[in-house]
Amino acid sequence: MFPKAPAEEEKEPSLASRLGSRMFERQQDMARLFGTLIGAMSSIFSPGDAARTVSVRVAIRQIFFTGVQALPLVGVIAVFVGATTVIQVQLMAAALPTDFLGRILVAIILRELAPFATAVVVAGRSGTAMATELGNMKANSEILGLASVGIDPLRFIVFPRIVGTVVSVLALTVYFGAMALLASYALSQMMGSSSFSALSGAFSDALVPEDLALFLIKGTGLGTMVGWLCCHYGLEVQTSPTEVPQMASHAVVMTLVACVIFNTVVTAGFYWIVGPPVH
């Protein structure tokens, strides 16, 4: 009887193999990520009046939770942001004319802080709830149950939530900007720096027609990212309930990163078109 040859040691994968495997995994992740968005958006063209009615009801409930119930929180944050901005401007440039103050407030509050801070609040509050809800549904096989009876989860669960977050972010951005500017005006009056007519005239002069496009692009884009990414990572939960809080946290982090990048790119493009805010 011949002795057995010693078992060959398993070779450790090469660096190129590990990199290739990692890149393939990332491609798969990106394909699933954009598949969620494309599938949800394309579901609007699917037939069925009853299905549309259900989706509208889900979207309305999402708007109530994300938009209406967030009004007190967004209002408080907006007031303090507006007050802080005026204090900083008055400390650094007290001798500047009201027209300059108006341009700074429009550039900082209306164009930047209002949409971005609103998206952050919605992501932290409603995004976490959406990711947790969908993660629990996935872990409890509710998503599988819906699919098994012919109900498209992207149409009935993801799409209404994306619509709800987009509408809520747009509305809350307007509310945030109004509350922040009112706080700015009230504090500037207390500090005796400008009158209402002078400040309102400065706001009007600082605003340009392109600001409407900026508002719509930022509000729609940021709202879509919050709803899309939080729903996607909620659906990435497999079968273990312990994955739910991990994915909810991951969803919020990835949403905030995406919002920062999107907001920066849009702002850069806006000022490349209209020129610097202060000149």
In whole angstroms, give the CA distance from residue 160 to residue 52.
10
Q: Mean pLDDT, to the nearest integer, of 106-127?
A: 92
Tokens of 254: 């990835």
On the question of pLDDT at 6 being above 60, the answer is no
Q: Please state, as a whole number, how many other Cβ atoms lie within 10 Å of the Cβ of residue 154.
A: 21
pLDDT of residue 196: 62
State the average pLDDT for the chain. Answer: 85
On the question of pLDDT at 261 being above 60, the answer is yes
pLDDT digits (tens, 9 = 90+) for 125-166: 999 999 999 999 998 888 888 888 878 888 889 999 999 999
pLDDT band at 1 (very low <50, low <70, confident <90, very high): very low
In 3D space, the residue among 234, 51, 60, 72 whose CA is nearest the CA of residue 140 turns out to be: 234
Portion of the chain with pLDDT greater than 90, in percent: 45
Tokens of 90: 């008055």
In whole angstroms, give the CA distance from residue 4 to residue 205.
89
pLDDT digits (tens, 9 = 90+) for 235-252: 999 888 888 999 999 999
On the question of pLDDT at 95 being above 90, the answer is no
pLDDT of residue 198: 66
pLDDT of residue 267: 92
Residue with the larger pLDDT of the pair 25 and 74: 74
pLDDT band at 89 (very low <50, low <70, confident <90, very high): confident
pLDDT of residue 113: 92
Q: Mean pLDDT, to the nearest integer, of 178-188?
A: 85
Sign of the CA dihedral 189, 191, 192, 197? negative
In whole angstroms, give the CA distance from residue 222 to residue 241.
29
pLDDT digits (tens, 9 = 90+) for 51-73: 788 888 999 999 999 999 999 99
The reported pTM is 0.87
In whole angstroms, give the CA distance from residue 142 to residue 134.
9
Give yes or no for a contact between 230 and 255, defined as CB atoms under 8 angstroms apart: yes
In whole angstroms, give the CA distance from residue 180 to residue 79.
5
Give yes or no for a contact between 119 and 227, defined as CB atoms under 8 angstroms apart: no
